[in-house]
Amino acid sequence: MARKQQTKGKCVFCDREMTRSGLARHLRTCPQRQEAINAANQASGEDQPMYHLQVQDGWAGDYWLHLEMKGTATLKDLDRYLRAIWLECCGHLSRFSIGGWGSDDIPMSRKIAQVFQVGVELTHIYDFGTSSVTLVKAVDVRQGKPLTRHPIFLMARNEMPEVKCMECDQPAAWLCMECIYEFNETGALCDEHAREHPHGNYGEPMPWVNSPRVGMCGYDGPATPPY
């Protein structure tokens, strides 16, 4: 069986394109990132631990983020960010734990520095019915000043996974929920076939967005960073 091609994304500091694991290594030594850190460290204020978090969907790993997060920020800040960039559709409940279902919740009030050390992986679950599972792992930590006034700085993100239209093999931009639920098909449609598509019991085709929650519980994005 051919090995599945990994999704790629770009380093926001130098624009190099790599896989998720490649960027985890690259960001430790990226010269442009180090320049940004050196500039930030000139600011006034106390140093604090800054955590490099690798975030990925818990199913296939096609969707991922590399974040730098303040040690003084909380899991609630991370939950808000994940909802904004990936998950929020209907205000569902969410939880953090180590190990997922069957493990104790970690309070959202916990500070990042209280929860993470390099190698620690948390499971985030959004929506306890049609659940989205996200894995958040600390891959590195530095001591210094933050790169932003916000709790989180986005260092890299996967590009849109390549999805083919089920009718013509062109790149898909839309998703038909009726095809998924009633006909066990991918539901992926290009612009042309989305216009011609006859199914209507689940509404018009939904936009395919860069989020692991696409097609779940009516999620339609916007799947953009909140800041």
Q: What is the pLDDT of residues 117-160, one digit of tens each?
A: 999 999 999 999 999 999 999 999 999 999 999 999 999 999 99
- The tokens for 162 are 């390549």
Tell which residue, 212, 179, 216, 173, has the closest CA to residue 195.
Answer: 173
Residue 211 pLDDT? 96
3-state SS class at 173: coil
Residue 2 pLDDT? 39
Whether the Cβ atoms of residue 135 and residue 58 lie closer than 8 Å to each other: yes
Whether the Cβ atoms of residue 134 and residue 56 lie closer than 8 Å to each other: yes
Whether the Cβ atoms of residue 158 and residue 60 lie closer than 8 Å to each other: no
Is 60 exceeded by the pLDDT of residue 210?
yes
Categorize the per-residue pLDDT at 196 as very low, low, confident or very high, splitting at 50, 70 and 90.
confident
Residue 184 pLDDT? 85
Of residues 169 and 202, more confidently modeled? 169
pLDDT in tens, 22-63: 999 999 999 999 999 999 999 998 999 999 999 999 998 999
Mean pLDDT of 191-210: 85
Domain residue spans in the chain? 8-157, 174-207
Whether the Cβ atoms of residue 66 and residue 23 lie closer than 8 Å to each other: yes
3-state SS class at 192: helix
The domain 8-157 is classified under which CATH number: 3.40.50.1820, 3.40.120.10, 3.40.50.620, 3.10.290.30? 3.10.290.30
As a whole number of Å, the CA-based R_g of the chain is 19
**Strand 17-19, strand 8-10: pairing:** antiparallel
Count of all residues that appear for the chain in the document:
227
Mean pLDDT of 183-192: 90
DSSP letter, residue 107: P
